[in-house]
Amino acid sequence: MMLESLFVSTGVIALAEIGDKTQLLAFLLAARFKKPVPIILGILIATIFNHGLAGALGSWVTQAVSPEILRWVLGCSFIGMAIWTLIPDKIEEEETQIAQKFGVFGATLVTFFLAEMGDKTQLATVFMAAHYQSAILVVIGTTLGMLIADVPAVFIGNKFANKIPMKLIHGVAALVFAAMGIATLLKIDTFF
């Protein structure tokens, strides 16, 4: 179950991140600044901090809530994540204007951290950390998933964004979240 938490969290977040507002932010920052290294480092550090907080919250929840209540909350939350994944994200222009004050790395760090607050990938990290009861592996996995989706976005900028089949990718991520929710509600531990 330990490695499962790493692999599932990596895969689910990589899929859920495609078309997410933080991936759109990566496209936008890359197209605007054309400096991939500070953008990627900003994404990495922001994600570690943001998902680290989410993983800690997920671990705390497992201690504070009874297993039966937690099972229902997590099952319903995963199903909610499946629905939310099907709703396209948009990015607000204000999130990218911070670069003029903090430079490319600082702008990426601040905007990614803030953009991830309450975002579906952050909440999914909370839920998966609670589900797997392995916050460190989940945070490593969700961070890898973010990088798998966002690093290519940095290198291709807006060039290929319109060619990615967003509906299909979001549909697959939604199916995985729904399957996790149903498996949790039915007390099926295999694969999720």
Radius of gyration for the chain, computed over Cα atoms and rounded to the nearest angstrom: 16
Q: 9-23, 43-57, 68-82: which range is least confident on average?
A: 68-82
Average pLDDT, the chain: 82
Closest alpha carbon to 96 in 177, 21, 17, 18 = 21
**Predicted local confidence at residue 184, as pLDDT:** 76
Answer whether residue 46 shows pLDDT above 80: yes
What tokens were used for 186? 């039915």
**Predicted local confidence at residue 97, as pLDDT:** 61
Answer whether residue 23 shows pLDDT above 80: yes
Answer whether residue 95 shows pLDDT above 60: no
What tokens were used for 108? 């990426």
Please give the average per-residue pLDDT across 150-161, as a whole number.
76
61-70: per-residue pLDDT in tens?
A: 888 888 788 7
User: For tokens 């989706």, what's the residue?
Assistant: 149
User: For tokens 């990290």, what's the residue?
Assistant: 125
Answer whether residue 25 shows pLDDT above 90: no
- Distance set, CA 4 to CA 42, 45, 67 (Å): 27, 24, 20
Distance CA 59, CA 86 (A): 27
Answer whether residue 177 shows pLDDT above 50: yes
110-150: per-residue pLDDT in tens?
A: 888 888 887 888 888 998 999 888 899 999 999 999 999 99
Distance CA 23, CA 19 (A): 6
What tokens were used for 42? 């900003």
Distance CA 24, CA 52 (A): 22
The fraction of the chain above a pLDDT of 70, given in percent, is: 83
Distance CA 181, CA 175 (A): 10
180-189: per-residue pLDDT in tens?
A: 778 878 877 6
**Predicted local confidence at residue 185, as pLDDT:** 83
**Predicted local confidence at residue 192, as pLDDT:** 45
8-22: per-residue pLDDT in tens?
A: 999 989 988 887 778
